[in-house]
Amino acid sequence: MADAIAEAARRHPAPEGLVYTYGTAGFRTKAEVLDSVMTRCGLIAALRSRALKGKWIGVMITASHNPPQDNGVKLVEPLGNMLQEEWEVISTVMANKATPEDVSKYYHEIAAQYKIDLSSPARVVVARDTRASGARLLNCVTDGLKGADVEYKDYGFLTTPQLHYMVRCLNTEGTPESYGIATEKGYYEKFAQAFKTALGSKRPQGHLTVDGANGVGGPKLTELIKYLPPKEEGLDISVINDNVIKPESLNVDCGADFVKTNQRAPPSSKAGPGDRCCSLDGDADRIVFYFRDANNMFHLLDGDRIATLVASFLGDLVRQSGLAESIKIGVVQTAYANGAATNYVEKNLKLKVDCTATGVKYLHHAAEKLDVGVYFEANGHGTVIFSADTLETIEKHEPRSPAQKEALDVLSACINLINQAVGDALSDMLLVEVVLAHKNWGPQEWLSTYDDLPNRLLKVIVADRRIFETTDAERRLVKPEGIQKEIDQEVQKVRQGRSFARASGTEDAVRVYAEAATRAEADDLARKVADIVKSAGK
């Protein structure tokens, strides 16, 4: 076995002088320097599966919203959740081993440390997005899997959430927790049926335009539409930016990240005033909504807006079902959530808000601790998690009136409509449409629930991001010393001011966020905090 491991690593040597880190999104960088990392991730997936007694582990080849020339890989745990943190560390060490012999030695060291029987079965599922480099990098992964003697399934092209769904289905097959059928058809049927049931006799207003970021989400949505009720009975959708034949157009002037960052619709959008629009990202795990009003003003309905909309609807259903005493709903945010959204959840919806560090894994863990945890990053990545106890409570609840029964049925359908394994743009899109239909709202009514505080996000390039250390869910800097005091002084000078600076997880930069009562004050505050960071980072 030792030779097979070294041999697999030898086929894809590591470039000299590069240091790889398994970040919140796995390994992600220029595609041409990822071959060695991919093979080694195949080896780690094998070890992880064996450590978990042969459970299926997922390997997703994607770089999400990054430019077309990038790629990446992330590993998925048996229930579709993110890789455990100690295994992120193991993956980083493995990726940076210098020689094939070092790779093999480390592989066996990990097996010994975790008492892993290397002759026991290992099972892995693989999928990729539509990037041109995907086919080559898939071969690198499978070389690692073959070297480690793994049984694997290659699902070809999938959205990231579809891969997470497959992993969860395969691991829960034949159990009371069975999540669904581990095929694309199974995925479409599950979510389409849940959408139909949750919608009931309600109808979404108007038409929805979906921007697929020229990524894998476009064709997969087109496939999903075939399983949805006809547009006369359900949702009238048109898909734009679904060109996967030209991989170089992926995420270019389109997609969730473009819309969120530039605060405008993709240039290709032909939607008229009041038309609902949404954009997926390159691997369809993020979604943002937006529209233009009668005066042609652009309005973004981002992850904060989705979280507040969904939390308010689930809160209504829980109350109407007669379950308010037994189920508590909470919203999990990061420091990037708009202060007005936090205020709305606490004051209007009367729900608890938790704040975590930036990164989906932190939000997910915090949401898992709640009865019903609604989490969305402002960038549109998120989902809702229902605890096992909550699911049991809902299942056993006897409604006392037809109205309670109807609310309970819609709540149960929403649980099936939400991809609890991971944030899923397609599932989230259908959920938002159900909520708007039940509330009989268009985008304008949704927008008018609260007014966002003007905010500005700036990126400051620094020599070494590691000198910037934070505390309090990344809202305050502890190092360099004295810098937080300077930031606090600037914040106090503006009305409803709030600002924080945190090191980027992916590049040598510090991200500065500022918000205030007016656009001018927010811009001014962001600029002053950026200057403080710049002088500290020299």
State the binding site: 64, 281, 283, 285, 377-379, 502-506, 511
Output the six-digit token pair for 17.
């002088």
Q: Binding site residues for substrate, as ranges?
A: 377-379, 502-506, 511
**Which residues have C-beta within 8 Å of that of residue 81, sequence separation ≥ 6?**
164, 364, 421, 422
Output the six-digit token pair for 451.
């007014």
DSSP for 337-395 reads S-HHHHHIIIIIS--EEEEE-SSHHHHHHHHHTSSEEEEE-TTS-EEEEE-HHHHHHHH
Nearest by Cα to 501 from 337, 364, 335: 335
Secondary structure of 78-103 in HEC code, one letter for each residue: CCCCECCHHHHHHHHHHHCCCCHHHH
**Which residues have C-beta within 8 Å of that of residue 157, sequence separation ≥ 6?**
127, 128, 129, 130, 216, 219
Q: Can you say whether residue 453 is alpha, beta or left, with left for phi > 0 and alpha for psi between -120 and 50 degrees?
A: beta
Tell me if residue 321 is catalytic: no
Q: DSSP letter at 249?
A: G
Output the six-digit token pair for 171.
């691991």
Q: DSSP letter at 454?
A: P
Phi, psi of 443 (to 5 degrees): -65, -30
Output the six-digit token pair for 339.
């202060």
Output the six-digit token pair for 380.
């549109």
d(CA 124, CA 373): 29
Q: Which of 36, 49, 64, 499 is catalytic?
A: 64
Q: Angle 425-439/184-199 helices, nearest 10 degrees?
A: 10
Nearest by Cα to 73 from 24, 26, 21: 26
Active site residues: 64
